[in-house]
A and B are shown apart, each in its own frame.
Chain A
Amino acid sequence: MVIKRNNSTCLVSVAVFTATLFSSCVPSVGSNMRSRESSGLSSGSSNVAIYQGKILADNPIILSKNSELPDTFDLNKLMSTATITTNSFLKGNESCFGLNYCFEVRQNKDAPSALQTVDGKWAFNANTPEFLQVNTFYHLNSISDMFYKNLTSLFFSAYDGANNTQYDTAIPLDLKDSITQKYKMGGSPLIAYADCDQPDNAYFDRATQTLCFGYINAHPNVKWAQDSSAIYHETGHFFQKLQLNFRNFADGTILQKSDMGNIYYDEAGSIGEGLSDFYSFYVNGRTHFSEWGAGRFLQASRPMIESDPLHAPGLGTDVDKRLSYPQYIDYNPNNPSIPSEDIHLSGMIISHYLVALVQDLQDKCNLTKRESSDYVVQLISESLAELGDLTTKGTERNTSGSPKINLSKLYASDWFNKVNPINFRSFTQTFAKNLKNTVNINHCSGATYTNDQLESLIDQYGLLLFRTYNENRNLLTGVNTPVNPINRKKSQLISKDQIILDPTPNASIAFVIDNKDQIKEGINSLQSIGTIGSLSPQTPSDLGFNNNNGKISPGEVVALALNLYNKSNSTIGGVQVLANDWNQADATGKPCQFDSKLTNDTWPLKSEGGVPCSDIKADASSNFAPVCFMQLNEATATKWVSQKEFRNKMALDNSFCLDSTDDKDCFIRAIKGADQAYFSKINPTSTWGKTLADPTTGKAPSLYWGNLMLFEISKHIPPGTVIDCRMRVRFTNCEDCYHDKDKNNNDFKDSEYNGPKPFKIIHLQIPITD
């Protein structure tokens, strides 16, 4: 009897256990893949040892040596065996190089967790989603291994055994927990989806910390995860998030994080793409990105060296044939005759420079390619850590307690994103400073890498756009190290006065778009990517006041683009128009008539309501006035007044303002986030429209939302009112927008960017038309 009872109990237990066991392998909707794998769909497992799997060591074009490999090719023929992981799941290895930070790979959104092996082996048929996960894991692990080891090595370069800085590093000691020795960088692991439902796309979602590798829409069996260089590139975006925020993570009191670019065209985004391409070179040593994923079917692969056969004739590694700024900003090697404003293309200038630097350091400092590449990645880490620092300390040797970069903690995000953002000049200047400060400490064995050599290579790329190394930034009391002007042969600096509104007779000086559907699309797009926040509750959801008459009318939301003209004989690059709040009014809101030392803008005269201003500040809300003033017609005079004063004269209640809690921009406001516009370049004696026009058909380029600023107009503004918006314009290769010839060519301090001096002032006087 006892035996029988035991048998019955045992049977029930076995049944429940079995059911639970099976069901635990089938967690939810994402069960298919894991159950398939459990049922033995893996292929070739018998040919690999435990912990090993099958991967594509490089992308299929490289492995097959066939640049025209068809999408029907059996990729199993190109696979090789590699050690994957000793884990039973596709997760970053347990030690994670001492990091409190790991990653894992999943198939797609339906997969509830990382892929699991049942036999310790990871060999799958190349056509399965399991293979995509294993391949992604292998390459993600490879680049992570290199990146984190490099970071650890950087710590040993930056600090001695007693934690004293070896040079003025931006890598904070607190990035490592002093007890556990683990890095403090966020807390969530990186999740990579290897078989994502995204046609012609891959992305890095910074907020959820996920990577997504899609497929080629016209060839659905061609996946981004089959191309290791695409995996490296996308992971490079994740590394940039870490690098930019090293100091913010370590500080632990900064909520906001620095992003590399504002999504639409800008130079920070361009540099981000160039750096991501460089990460591909960093791992595989090859000077071409994504021949399979981007290149084979989308004609969008990118070279990283001028001798690449994809490049147009005229480019080469000779000093005068480099892919230089600003000439090649809009150059597309896959279609060189048509200019294209795209961050991936302009980013090639940085990737080419970095690859050339790796070669130069090999040659002049007796480094191996690996040593040289490792060092360049360390320089990128140093540079981004400093530029993205929202704590404003900047570097470790700043013990002054004063902000060195990004103005102040309160306004650091605004300065980083808009007022003094990363561009080709600031990135190269900071990078060059770090190279100068460190190369001869322990990176140039048996030789000296001179400032002249450093500057000459940068100049070959047209990027020697700074006159000092700006080591001291806001803390400057003396003189920064100057650049040798003799080394500036190719890089051109142009006066800000060379940019004006199009003077051609009958030409538009500005373009107004007030079409309801177009504006709605713009708001949708900008809001969904997080570029803009909320609009005024006063603005109707149907944009019912937008009348598509090309004029600015009460109640509308309008997009505005300046029609800028380059009157110089050199190309201008990185044009930025700012319509944000700035220190252009006194504490009562009266418009500044600035001292002539600050600007040649004499508007408005005292008789027109102007008050003298000579001191630029940026430490209180009262130092930030809206970009637009109102014309007030009084019995004896016509004056320019603040929107607040205009409201008072109208006796309009606050509650009728665009923001009922703040009447400083009661009637018109540039929507925050869309209060700046970028244009990649403008050719000599030309406009942006003509620069980007198709040279064969003459067809003008389209405007995208990064080229436009958005304004909200109150429905309570009387028709006939005239508004003056005092915009500020600058460009990257500008002689007087970033450094001050009156102060030894030192860079302007951050607070000065809240005034007129570093900018060309351009007024738009806007009639409100019903």
Chain B
Amino acid sequence: MKKFWLFSISVLIAFTIEIYSKKANNFFVSKNKNQWKTFEKNSNQEIISHKTTNIEMQEAHIPTTKRAIAQEQKPEKDLSGEDSSNVLPNSSNFLMRENRVLIGDIQKRNYQDENIELEMNNVPNNNWKEILGSELLRFQHDDTKVMVKEEFPVIKIIDGKGIYLEQVLITYMFKNGNKNSYRALVNSETGLVIETWDRTVHENYRKTEAGIALPIMNTSGITTR
């Protein structure tokens, strides 16, 4: 009988510890994923933000760290690369300056050499991600969510001048269950999106959007020459 109770209590304790750790982990995504941030527009038209939860990651169909199991031939510490901060793309040959990836018109000078002065067109703003979240939601309906993952910082060279940018992954989640993702370059000062790619291809066998009726009359006064 004593053995039975000892066994039962041990099982109970072990399960309690396990369940607690799962729940704690479930509410806030673990530390190495804290660059995901969720922005949400509530019914008062206020945009609020919080660290992205595991449940939100699942709802957005964003694979979590276990996805890394499938990556072969990589050392253990790199497997969670997708979810750790400031990770550059695999196999990159990127030139760097100020720990940022250099892109754009970078052949003309050795921009990697930080002793060579580079005029910058903007100044990084610690609040860029908050501004971005607000911008992405400001025209959206209530209860639309946007999740933003900071991927890595960038400097783009145009006409010999630099501009600080951030590469991010953006995921929209709508109340009706629809979702869209894409990557973007964002101005590090203003938080404005300047370029996008990696957009989602939907089959949507039934068009989900109502079209706009072709206007019958032109009352705009627009003419041609």
Chain A residues packing against B (C-beta within 8 Å) = 7-8, 11-12, 14-16, 18-20, 23, 27-30, 89, 91-92, 94, 96, 100, 102-104, 106, 109-110, 112-114, 177, 180, 182, 184, 186-189, 191, 193, 196-198, 200-208, 210, 212, 234, 237, 249, 251-263, 272, 294, 298, 300, 344, 408-410, 413, 501, 507-513, 518, 520-521, 523-525, 527-531, 533-535, 541, 543, 549-552, 559, 563, 603, 620-622, 661, 672-673, 689, 700-705, 708, 724, 762-767, 769
Shortest Cβ distance from residue B171 to the other chain A in the assembled complex, whole angstroms = 7
In the complex, the answer to whether A102 meets B61 with C-beta atoms within 8 Å is no
- Is A18 a contact partner of B11 (Cβ separation < 8 A)? yes
Interface size class for chain B? Answer: 35 or more
* B119 vs chain A, min Cβ distance (A): 14
> A251's contact among B93, B209, B211, by CB below 8 Å, is which?
B93
Q: For residue A29, which residues in chain B have a CB less than 8 angstroms away from its CB?
A: 26, 54-55, 58
Q: Are A673 and B219 in contact (CB under 8 A)?
A: no
Q: How far is the CA of A249 from the CA of B61 in the complex (A)?
A: 24
Taking a contact as CB atoms under 8 Å apart, the answer to whether A528 and B180 are in contact is: yes
B89-107 to A contact mask, C-beta < 8 Å, 1/0: 1111111000001011111
- A621 in complex: contacting residue of B141, B158, B185, B216, CB < 8 Å: B158
Q: Considering the chains assembled together, what is the distance between the CA atoms of A201 and B190 in angstroms? A: 36
Measured CB to CB, the nearest residue on chain A to B219 is: A550
B75 at the interface (CB under 8 A from A): no
Determine whether the beta carbon of B101 is less than 8 Å from that of A16: no
When chains A and B are docked, how far (Å) is the Cα of A237 from the Cα of B198?
Answer: 12
**CB within 8 Å of A: which residues of B?**
3, 6-8, 10-11, 14-15, 18-19, 22, 25-26, 54-55, 58-64, 66-67, 69-74, 81-82, 89-95, 101, 103-107, 121-122, 135-136, 138-141, 154, 158-159, 167, 169-172, 174, 177, 179-185, 190-206, 209-225
New A-B contacts (13) at CB < 8 Å, excluding given A409-B106, A533-B193, A551-B219 = A11-B6, A109-B59, A114-B69, A184-B91, A187-B89, A200-B205, A258-B197, A263-B200, A529-B182, A552-B222, A702-B211, A704-B212, A764-B223
Cα–Cα distance between A18 and B8 once the two chains are bound (Å): 11
Knowing A203-B202, A533-B193, A701-B211 are in contact, say whether A210-B63 is a contact too (CB < 8 A): yes
Chain A: minimal CB distance from B79 (Å)? 11
CB–CB A207/B182 < 8 A? yes
28 contacts between A and B (CB under 8 A): A8-B6, A19-B11, A100-B73, A104-B69, A112-B58, A187-B89, A187-B91, A191-B63, A206-B198, A208-B62, A210-B63, A252-B92, A254-B103, A263-B202, A510-B218, A512-B222, A524-B140, A527-B139, A527-B140, A528-B180, A529-B200, A530-B184, A533-B192, A541-B139, A550-B218, A622-B159, A763-B224, A765-B222
Chain B residues lying within 8 Å of A187, measured Cβ to Cβ, are: 71, 81, 89-91
Chain B contacts of A8 at CB under 8 A?
3, 6
**Those 4 A-B pairs whose CB atoms lie nearest each other, nearest first:** A702-B211, A533-B193, A508-B218, A530-B182
Question: How close is B224's CB to chain A, nearest CB, in angstroms?
Answer: 5
- Which residue from chain B places its CB closest to the CB of A230 in the assembled complex? B203
Inside 8 A of A410's CB, which chain B residues have their CB?
Answer: 104-105, 158
| Chain A minimum-CB-distance residue to B105 | A410
With beta carbons under 8 angstroms apart, the residue of A197, A208, A507 that contacts B169 is A208
- Once A409-B104, A551-B219, A764-B224 are accepted as A-B contacts, the answer to whether A702 and B22 lie under 8 Å apart by CB is no
Q: Are B204 and A200 in contact (CB under 8 A)?
A: yes
Q: Which residues of A contact B89 (CB under 8 A)?
A: 186-187, 252, 255
Inter-chain contacts of A193 with B (CB < 8 A): 61
Q: In the complex, are the beta carbons of B139 and A769 less than 8 A apart?
A: no
Cβ A531 vs Cβ B213 within 8 A: no
| Residue pair B202, A765 in contact (C-beta under 8 Å) | no
Task: Please pick, from A197, A530, A622, the residue contacting B180 in the complex, using a CB distance under 8 A.
Answer: A530
Known: A109-B58, A704-B209. A508 touches B70 (CB 8 A): no
Q: Is the CB of B140 within 8 A of A513?
A: no
Q: Which residues of A contact B202 (CB under 8 A)?
A: 201, 203, 263
- B25's nearest neighbour on chain A, judged by CB, is A28
Report yes or no: B15 in contact with A19, Cβ–Cβ below 8 A.
Answer: yes
Bound-state Cα–Cα, A582 to B181, Å: 30
**Once the chains are docked, how many angstroms separate the CA of A541 from the CA of B73?**
49
Please tell me if the beta carbons of B203 and A201 are within 8 angstroms of each other in the complex. Answer: yes
Residues of B within 8 A of A552 (CB): 220, 222
Asked whether A255 lies within 8 Å of B167 as measured between CB atoms, the reply is yes
Among candidates B91, B135, B216, residue contacting A252 with C-beta atoms closer than 8 Å: B91
User: Known: A530-B170, A533-B184. Contact between A702 and B205, CB under 8 A?
Assistant: no
A residues less than 8 Å from B209 (CB atoms) = 521, 525, 704-705
Look across to chain A and name the residue whose beta carbon is closest to the beta carbon of B192.
Answer: A534
* Nearest neighbor of B95 in chain A, beta-carbon distance: A253
Contacts A109-B61, A205-B61, A253-B93 given: A550-B10 contact, CB under 8 Å?
A: no
Whether A16 and B206, one on each chain, are in contact in the complex, defined by CB atoms closer than 8 angstroms, is no
Across the interface, which residues of B come within 8 angstroms of A549, CB to CB?
219
B220 with A15: CB separation less than 8 A: no
Closest-by-CB residue of A relative to B14 is A19
Q: Which residue of A lies closest to B70 (CB)?
A: A189
A-side contacts of B7, CB under 8 Å: 11-12, 14-15
